[in-house]
Amino acid sequence: MAQPDCKKIFFENLSGAGKAIAVLTSGGDAQGMNAAVRAVVRMGIYVGAKVYFIREGYQGMVDGGDNIKEASWESVSSMLQVGGTVIGSARCKEFRTHEGRLKAAHNLVQRGITNLCVIGGDGSLTGANLFREEWSGLLGELVEQGLIDSDASQKYSALHIVGMVGSIDNDFCGTDMTIGTDSALHRIIEVVDAIMTTAQSHQRTFVLEVMGRHCGYLALVSALACGADWVLIPEMPPEDGWEKKMCQKLSANRAGMKRLNIIIVAEGAIDRNNKPITTDYVKNLVVKCLGFDTRVTILGHVQRGGTPSAFDRILASRMGVEAVLALLETTANTPACVVSLCGNQSVRLPLMECVQMTQEVQKAMDEKKFEDAVKLRGRSFENNLKTYKLLAHRKPESELPSSNFNVAVLNVGAPAAGMNAAVRSAVRVGISEGHKMFAVNDGFEGFYKGQIKEIKWADVGGWTGQGGSLLGTKRTLPAKHVDKIAEQMRKHNINALLIIGGFETCDRIKQSASGTKRRVFIIETMGGYCGYLASVGGLAAGADAAYIYEEPFDIRDLQANVEHLTEKMKTSIQRGLVLRNENSNENYTTDFIYQLYTEEGKGVFDCRKNVLGHMQQGGAPSPFDRNFGTKISAKAMQWISKKLVETFRQGRVFANTEDSCCLLGMRRRALVFQPVVQLKEETDFVHRIPQEQWWLKLRPLMKILAKYKTSYDVSDSGQLEHVVRNRSKESDASAAM
C-alpha cells in the first residue's frame, strides 16, 4: 500500500542478521506483556535476527535447557489478546546471587545471545542492569572455568539490554504509562460501576481497596474516573484529624441527594506517621461516626486479570518494536535503556536513571517528605491529584470567589464516551472559579431554540461514568442560526463558550475472531473519513489489513492482501482479520471487499463480514476517556477563566484576538491550545479530517506485525534521552487513544 509521505528508512538498513535476541517477562505479571513479547519476536524476525523466548523469567535463564527456546513467527500467534504472560514469569532468588548470574551468562553465551529484552518492574530491570555491568567479568570467569573458550568470550563480549516496564501500578518514573496499568484501571472501573448500582439501591458506603503497595496511581486515577468521595494514597497521606473531615464530607455528599459513597484506599495507604490505613479502619470509622451501612471490597488479583485493553496492546506493541530497534542501534558504550511513553511518542531513557528516580520516591515517602514524593512521581501524577481535589469537594458558597462571568457548555457532533466527564469537570471547575455556569441542550440546535439554563455543582454528580451525551448533542452547524445564537448569548450574558465534540469521534472497537479456522473477518469501522479507529484498532487486534481513506489503495493492494491471507492459511494461523473504515473508498465498499475475498479465497478460506455501526459510540466510557475528558476540560475551563480576566475591559469581554477561539488537543508530548483560524489551514473540511494525521506512522507497525514487507519511519522514534527531574508527564496514556 502507499505509504504516508514522510521520511522513510527501509529496514534493510537496520539489519538484525547474525544477532540473537532473547525476551523474558519477570516479576509480577501484567496485561499486555504478551503483546510486547509478540512484537519483539515478530520485529526481531522481521529484521533478520534470531529470537529466543526465555520461560519463567530469570529462573529460566539460570536453569537453561528447554527454558530457552527459539521462537517462530507462528509461536506468538493468538497471544495479543491474552492476559498475564504466556511465557511465564517468576521471582528468582538465584539471579540475585553471583553464581546464579554466572549460570545465566553461560546459558546465553552457549546460544550466542547477546541481546536481552526484559519486560518487568523496577526490580527486574535493576537485575538486568547489574547483569550487563558484570557481563565481561562473568565471561572471564567462564573462560577460567573452562566452560567457554576465549574466542566465544571475545565474540560475545558485550551484552545489550533494553527494558520495558510491565507493571499494573504505573510506579515507574520516566514513562507516562507502564504496560498493564490501563487494563488494571479497566478492571477497577468495571467493579466500581457494578458496586455503584448496588450501593445506590441500598444507600451504602463502599470502601474499596485497590492494588499499589507503594504507588497510589491506580487508586487516584480510579477515584478520578468514578468521582469517589475520598481517596487514600501513600504519596499524600491525609492531614492529622482527617477522620473527622472525611466523615463531614461523606455526610455532606449524602445530604446533597447522593445515595452512595465510595472511598478508595490504595493497598499501601498510610497516615502522616507512616502507619498503614486499612480498609477496616476506614469502615469502622464511618460506621461509628455516621452509622452508615458500610461494606469493604478488596479487589486483589482481579486487577491483574482479564484481557488487556486496546491501549495496553498498542502500547506494548509499539514498545516491543521500539525495543528491537534500540537493540539494533546499541553500541558497546550506550547505557542500558528503557523504552518509555512520553505523550504520544515512544522514547528511550537510560534505565538506571529511571530506576534510581523510582527508588527516590520511596525514599521520600520513608522520610515523610510527601510533597517531594508527589513531585518525583511526575507532573501528570500531581495534576491528577490537583484535579481530583478540585472536583471532589465543593467549597462552601461563602468561600467561592465571584467572577461575574457567565460561561456556557455544550456538546456538538456525534456522542462520544467521555463527553459527560468533560462536562462535569467544566461545570465544577467553572463554579470553583466563581463563574455562573450554563448548560445548552442539543448542541447548536438547542442553543438557537433557547434550550439553555444554569447548571449547578450537584447536577453533574455521577456523570463521569455515563456513556453518550447527557446534555444532548446534534450535528447541526451554527452558521445558519448565528443571529439567534447571538441573541441567546446576549440574553443570558454569556461571556465564554466551551464546546465539547467535533468531527467524527468514537472510542471503542472490540472484535474477537479467534477460535475459528480458515476464516477471514471483514469488519467495517466508523470514523467518517478518518481512519484512526480502523488503523489503531487493527494494531490492537492484530489485523492483516486496514483500509482507510488517508492511505489510498488500489486493486494491486487488494490482490496482495488476498494472496497474503492465502499464504497465511497454509501456516498454523488459519485466521484473518481485515478492517475497513466506512469511507475508505466509495467503490471498494465493505460488500465489494467481502465478495472479492470470498471469491478469491474459495477453497482456502471463507469470509464473514460485520459492520460495527453505532455500538462503537455506545457503552460506558473507558477509564482513559473519563480521565482525559475530565482533565482536558478542567484545563480548558482554567484557560477560559484566564482569558476572560485578560480581555475584560470597562465591563466588557473583548474576544477579538486569534486565540479567543481555540481548540485544546494533544500534540506530540503536550496539550496545546491552538487558534481555530490556524487549524482552518490544516483541516480538510470536505472530509472532516486534519490534513496530517499523526497516527499514520503507526500503520507500518501493524503491517510488520502481520508479516508484510514495508518501510517504517524511524526518524522520530526513540533517540536516547536523559531523564529530566520532574520531567513533565504531560498526559498519561495519550498514545493512540
- The angle that helices 217-226 and 181-202 make with each other, rounded to 10 degrees, is 50
Q: Any residues with CB less than 8 A from the CB of 446 and at least 6 apart, and which?
A: 410, 440, 452, 472, 474
The residue among 371, 359, 173 whose CA lies nearest residue 272 is 371
Site for ligand ADP in 499-518 (CB under 6 A): none
- Max Cα separation, the chain? 91
Residue from the set 44, 120, 531, 629 that interacts with ligand ADP by CB under 6 A: 120
Q: How far is the CB of 268 from ligand ADP (least distance, A)?
A: 14
Closest residue by beta carbon to ligand ADP: 123
Q: How far is CA 9 from CA 15, 17, 39, 714, in A?
A: 12, 17, 19, 6
Q: How far is the CB of 124 from ligand ADP (least distance, A)?
A: 3
Residue from the set 31, 77, 114, 124 that interacts with ligand ADP by CB under 6 A: 124
- 171 is annotated as an active-site residue: no
Binding-site residue total for ligand ADP (CB under 6 A)?
A: 17
27 binds ligand ADP (CB under 6 A): yes
Closer residue to ligand ADP (CB): 178 or 205: 178
Element (H, E) at 53: strand 50-54
Q: How far is the CB of 67 from ligand ADP (least distance, A)?
A: 14
Bridge partners (DSSP) of residue 522 are 578, 609
Query: With CB under 6 A as the contact rule, which of the stretches 20-28, 255-263, 459-467, 568-576 interacts with ligand ADP?
Result: 20-28
Bridge partners (DSSP) of residue 296 are 207
Closer residue to ligand ADP (CB): 358 or 505: 358
Site for ligand ADP in 158-217 (CB under 6 A): 167
Q: How far is the CB of 113 from ligand ADP (least distance, A)?
A: 18
Q: What is the distance between the alpha carbons of residues 712 and 612, in angstroms, rounded to a whole number? A: 30
Strands 50-54 and 68-70, bridge-based pairing: antiparallel
- The angle that helices 279-290 and 242-255 make with each other, rounded to 10 degrees, is 60
Query: With CB under 6 A as the contact rule, which of the stretches 114-122, 287-295, 547-555, 668-676 interacts with ligand ADP?
Result: 114-122
123 binds ligand ADP (CB under 6 A): yes
Closer residue to ligand ADP (CB): 126 or 253: 126
Q: What is the distance between the alpha carbons of residues 128 and 362, in angstroms, rounded to a whole number? A: 21
Query: With CB under 6 A as the contact rule, which of the stretches 12-20, 126-134, 221-229, 315-323 interacts with ligand ADP?
Result: 126-134
Residue from the set 26, 309, 340, 693 that interacts with ligand ADP by CB under 6 A: 26
126 binds ligand ADP (CB under 6 A): yes
Site for ligand ADP in 556-585 (CB under 6 A): none
Q: Any residues with CB less than 8 A from the CB of 11 and at least 6 apart, and which?
A: 46, 47, 711, 712
Closer residue to ligand ADP (CB): 120 or 237: 120
Site string for ligand ADP, 40-79 (x = CB under 6 A): ------------------x---------------------
Closer residue to ligand ADP (CB): 27 or 538: 27
**HEC letters along 668-679:** CCEEEEEEHHHH
Query: With CB under 6 A as the contact rule, which of the stretches 122-130, 299-307, 401-409, 635-643 interacts with ligand ADP?
Result: 122-130
Query: With CB under 6 A as the contact rule, which of the stretches 115-123, 552-560, 621-629, 728-736 interacts with ligand ADP?
Result: 115-123
359 binds ligand ADP (CB under 6 A): no
Q: Any residues with CB less than 8 A from the CB of 608 and at least 6 apart, and which?
A: 519, 520, 521, 522
- CB-CB contact of 637 with 486 (8 Å): no
Closer residue to ligand ADP (CB): 16 or 57: 57
Closer residue to ligand ADP (CB): 365 or 409: 365
Site for ligand ADP in 80-109 (CB under 6 A): 91-92, 95-96
- CB-CB contact of 344 with 693 (8 Å): no
* Burial degree of 588 (CB within 10 A; 0-12, 13-18, 19+): middle
Closer residue to ligand ADP (CB): 45 or 125: 125
Q: What is the distance between the alpha carbons of residues 545 and 565, in angstroms, rounded to a whole number? A: 10
Query: With CB under 6 A as the contact rule, which of the stretches 125-133, 362-370, 390-398, 509-517 interacts with ligand ADP?
Result: 125-133
Q: How far is the CB of 704 from ligand ADP (least distance, A)?
A: 28
Residue with cell 469502622: 284
Site for ligand ADP in 127-146 (CB under 6 A): 127, 130
Q: How far is the CB of 131 from ligand ADP (least distance, A)?
A: 7
Closer residue to ligand ADP (CB): 167 or 406: 167
382 binds ligand ADP (CB under 6 A): no
Backbone φ and ψ for 684, nearest 5 degrees, come out as -95, 95
Q: How far is the CB of 164 from ligand ADP (least distance, A)?
A: 11
Closer residue to ligand ADP (CB): 167 or 420: 167
Question: How much is the CA Rg of the chain, to the nearest whole Å?
Answer: 27
Which member of 169, 182, 544, 625 is catalytic? 169
The residue among 270, 296, 297, 274 whose CA lies nearest residue 285 is 296
Site string for ligand ADP, 531-550 (x = CB under 6 A): --------------------
Cell of 196: 455503584
Q: How far is the CB of 464 from ligand ADP (least distance, A)?
A: 31
Q: How far is the CB of 341 from ligand ADP (least distance, A)?
A: 18
The residue among 411, 391, 414, 416 whose CA lies nearest residue 498 is 411
Strands 545-547 and 496-501, bridge-based pairing: unpaired
Q: What is the distance between the alpha carbons of residues 632 and 665, in angstroms, rounded to a whole number? A: 8
Q: How far is the CB of 28 from ligand ADP (least distance, A)?
A: 5
Q: How far is the CB of 372 from ligand ADP (least distance, A)?
A: 22
Cell of 582: 466506512
Q: What is the distance between the alpha carbons of residues 172 and 185, in angstroms, rounded to a whole number? A: 16
Closer residue to ligand ADP (CB): 62 or 422: 62
Q: How far is the CB of 100 from ligand ADP (least distance, A)?
A: 8
Closer residue to ligand ADP (CB): 84 or 120: 120
**HEC letters along 449-498:** CCCEEECCHHHHCCCCCCCCCCCCEECCCCHHHHHHHHHHHHHCCCCEEE
- CB-CB contact of 53 with 68 (8 Å): yes
Instruction: Give me the residues that bind ligand ADP (CB under 6 A), please.
Output: 26-28, 58, 91-92, 95-96, 120-124, 126-127, 130, 167
List the catalytic residues. Answer: 169
